Amino acid sequence: MTLFLIGISVLNIQAQVRLISATRIKVDARYDSISDIPMSGVLASYKARMGVDVYRQIGECAQPMTVLAPESLLTDFLADQLFLKANQLLPEGVDFSILNFGCIRAPLKEGPIRVSDIYKVMPFENELIILEVKGSDVLSVFKSVARSNGACVSNVLLEIKGKKVNHLQIGGETLDPERLYRIATMDYLANGNSGMSALLRAVKRTDTGLKIRDILIEQIEHLTAMGRKVDAQLDGRIKTMTE
């Protein structure tokens, strides 16, 4: 018979317990009378300004505008306004604009447009980014668009067949994989999200600091000043071809 001897080492662990006392304070209406005067003034001023701004009418929508794939009135309008603003900012201009469907969270109804309506359409704090991207990477971007069955684009003609790029033109010309293209987009996509990791390979990035939502408000006010309503017409910029 074989015997196995097992050595056991016992650690002497000394634990300390410390009692911490706490008092429960009920927060109720008794504290309403206690006011931070400087902060109250800031909040009152902010509330007053927001009350005026949120309900301020900035334009008129000619027809209901919703988001549908692969192309819709609202997606075309938003992409066109971003494209126009980017071309105002850059003397050399941009080649196209692109946003994703996910940044749009509400339709525009026919009739008066108020600031609050634009906050509903675009509630996120996305900013305009201008990128310079090689054509081969632009193609990768639109391959992702094709798989998603569309996006918000301007100055683009895209044919999708079987969730693949069948034909792509930028500014009326067939995509050149070796050329650099200037793109107006938002920070969320420029950071490689929504399947657009190819944008991370941009050779140049310009952060404008301008909120997409503020750009839209400004552009609508500009249309109103010219006596025009917010409107769009489908032009077939993105088409889904049958197999």
The Cα angle at residue 78 between residues 72 and 84, in degrees rounded to 5: 130
pLDDT on residue 17: 57
How far apart, in Å, are the Cα atoms of 136 and each of 10, 95, 141, 154, 167? 66, 15, 9, 19, 14
Whole-angstrom distance, CA of residue 150 vs CA of residue 75? 10
pLDDT on residue 107: 96
Half-sphere exposure at residue 3, Cβ-oriented, CA atoms within 13 angstroms: 1
Q: What is the CA radius of gyration of the chain?
A: 27
pLDDT on residue 7: 44
Q: Across the 243 residues of the chain, what is the mean pLDDT of every consecutive 10-residue run?
A: 43 55 58 58 55 85 96 97 96 96 95 96 96 98 96 98 96 97 98 97 97 97 98 96 81
Residue 3 dihedral angles phi and psi, to the nearest 5°: -105, 135
pLDDT on residue 4: 43
pLDDT on residue 40: 59
pLDDT on residue 54: 85
- How many angstroms from the chain centroid is the CA of residue 32? 39
- CA-nearest of 160, 149, 155, 175 to 70 is 149
pLDDT on residue 26: 60
pLDDT on residue 21: 59
pLDDT on residue 25: 57
Kindly report the CATH number that applies to the domain delimited by 53-233: 3.90.780.10
